[in-house]
Structure formats: C-alpha cells, structure tokens
Chains A and B, each alone.
Chain A
Amino acid sequence: MSDENNPLFASTERFVAYLDGELPEAATRELEQTLNSDPAARIEIEKLNRAWELLDLLPRPNLSEEFTSRTVTALRTGIQASDEVATPRKWIGRKTALVAGLLLIAAMGFEIGRRSARPAADTLLEDLLVIENLDLLTEIGDVQFLRELQTKGGFDGRPPHEPR
C-alpha cells in the first residue's frame, strides 16, 4: 500500500499540515472537531509538535569572523572577473595593439638591418651622376649660381619654367 492510500499516513499528513497552518479552512475545522473527541489523535499531534520543537536545540553554527570579509573580497574579485568577461572587446583590443607593436618593431629592425647591410656598390650607383660630373660640379662650386643660371635660361636658351 502506498503512503498516499495508507490511512495512517493520510492522518499524519493532515496533522502536519494542520501544525504548519497549511490545511484549508474546512479541513482545519473538521480536524479540530476530531481532536476534541479523540484523545489518541490529540496525543499523536502533540508528539509530532514536541518532536518538531526539539529541533530548536540544534546547534547554530557561528559564522567565522572572516566570512563576511572573505565574501566581499570574493565578490570584488568576481566583479572584476565579470567585468572582463563582459567587455571582451577591451581584451581583444589589447591583443591587437600588442601584435601591431611587435610587427612594427620587427619591420623597423628589418629596415635597419637592410640598410646597414647594403653593399657599397648600391651607394656608388646612386651617386653615379655626381661622380660622372664631378669636374663640372667642382668648377661651378655653388648651387646658388646654378639656380640663377636656370632663372636666366642659361641652360638651353628657353625662358624659365616653359614646358618642353
């Protein structure tokens, strides 16, 4: 027989619900009439009640002194952690900046290395025009003189700045 169909269990359930104030009004009135006329029921309900009251003797744990501070610290840590989780873009931005910085340093290093390792022949080629005209340039001796010559059309007889 299941508990629900057992009359003893059904009466215990009613008694407990009555003690807990969870019995509907009509059922409460009915049970109170039974208790008035049935001493065995009264004893039964009284025992249930007294056993319940004994639970007041259960030891109450003393919260350790550092509990509140530990909880608040954990909450602060949690707040920081949740803020980081809540703003992943911030973290992604930091990562991107870091990678970009590293790439820039690598590129600069590469360029410096490339320049310092440039063969002397490259420099000679770049300066070939100057080398070929070194005698002429030495005679002129002054850039200002060349500019004046160009202004007066002294190179090819045409007026200055005229399109060719």
Chain B
Amino acid sequence: MANSEANIGAYLHDPDVQLMLRAQAGDNSAFTQLVELYQERLVAVLYHLLGNQEASEDLAQEVFLRIYRTRMRYQPTAKFSTWMFRIANNLASNWRRDNARHRQTTLVGNDSGARPQEQLVAEKSGLMPTRILDRAEMSKLVRDALDTLNERQKLAVLLNKFEQMSYEDIAVAMELSPQAVKSLLSRARENLRVLLEPYL
C-alpha cells in the first residue's frame, strides 16, 4: 500500500497523467487532448507491429475507448504512455491471435516451406548489397528485417526506438522484468545487425 502510494506520487508530475486525472474528474476536453497527443504515435507503433494501416487505426481507436471507459478506475502508478502501450500491447496480441487463426485456415495446403529470414531479406534486395539502393528500397529492406523479429522483440524495439522508453517502462508496458527487456532488446538488435550488415 505504501509502495503503491509512493508510485502514485512519483508519476503525478507527468503532464499526461495530469490530463488523465482531469478526464477522470469529468473534463472531456482533457481526454481529447490526450487523444490528439498520442494518436499518431500509437498508430505508428501499431502499424509497425501489425503491418496493417486499417487494423492499426481500429486498434488505436479501441485503445482510446478502453482508456476512457476505465478512466474511473485509473491510478497513476506508471507514466500515462506506459499504461497506454500496455493496453495497446494486449489488444495487438489478441488481434494477432485472431488473425493467425484465420491465416492458418487459409494457408492449409500451401506448402511454401520455411526459409531462413536472412535469405528472405537478401532475396528482396535483389542480392545486390553493393548496388546503391534508393530510400524506398532501403526502407523496404529495413521493414522486412524488422518483420523477421518475433512480436515481443519487435514491440520492445519500437518502444525503445520511437518512444524512447527506458527498459523499466518497456518492462511495465510488456509485463516483463527489466532484465528480460534487456535480453530481448539485445537479441533483437543483434538480429537486425546481422540482417542489415550488407547495407551498413
């Protein structure tokens, strides 16, 4: 209890926590401000996570709705962004699970055979790492390299890279220990280094 109270005190200086507390007290304009502040960032992370613009917008909307619906139970025990990405992570996991079931059904009988991820990235580059790639091609290669990471690695990378979240905040958002996040990011970055080495 004392710990929880200390945590609450620690996050009260977060301006977004203040907005959320105002929304909790019935100030809808404060909540609209939060939506405007976070909508692009949230959609960007979900887009890279799911690779689907429409789904990322739908999920982002659902994240905001859930936050609004549960605002009366909100306790500022973490940064607002950490809490928001935790909800986003849970919704994205559900979405992937539902879509994986759908893909499994549609891919039955399609024996494409698994190939190493590095081979896939190399093939997409036309096997010409020395050729000067334009920005669009390079962007596609980076996107493919990111897609080779498992979902947890990918989310940790996105939160660390684009949200500048600390290991501790990522741990809260992903419901892991900070040490697990450290290992996750280490593996992810090593994988990216190996995949993108020809273009470094």
A residues whose Cβ falls under 8 Å from a Cβ of B: 3-4, 9, 12-13, 16-17, 20, 22, 47-48, 50-52, 54-55, 57-61, 63-64, 67-68, 70-72, 74-75, 78-79, 82
A63 contacts B142, CB within 8 Å? no
Selected contact of B65 from candidates A48, A51, A67, A78, CB within 8 Å: A78
A67 contacts B57, CB within 8 Å? yes
Q: Given the complex of chains A and B, what is the CA–CA distance between A16 and B192 in angstroms? A: 12
Q: Is the interface of A mostly helix, strand, loop or mixed?
A: helix
Closest to A10 in B: B186
- Cβ of B123 < 8 Å from any Cβ of A? no
Neighbouring A residues of B56 by C-beta, 8 Å: 61
Q: Given the complex of chains A and B, what is the CA–CA distance between A48 and B194 in angstroms? A: 9
Neighbouring B residues of A82 by C-beta, 8 Å: 68-69
Closest to B187 in A: A3
CB-CB under 8 A for A12 and B161, given A51-B192, A68-B35: no
- Cβ of B73 < 8 Å from any Cβ of A? no
Contacting A at CB under 8 A, from B173-199, are 182-183, 185-187, 189-190, 192-193, 195-197, 199
- Cβ of B125 < 8 Å from any Cβ of A? no
B142 contacts A54, CB within 8 Å? yes
- Cβ of B99 < 8 Å from any Cβ of A? no
0/1 interface trace, chain B 89-125, chain A, CB 8 Å (1 if under)? 0000000000000000000000000000000000000
Selected contact of B36 from candidates A57, A59, A68, A70, CB within 8 Å: A68
Q: Given the complex of chains A and B, what is the CA–CA distance between A50 and B194 in angstroms? A: 11
A75 contacts B182, CB within 8 Å? no
Top-9 shortest CB links A-B: A13-B186, A61-B47, A51-B193, A57-B139, A16-B186, A51-B192, A51-B196, A50-B200, A57-B142
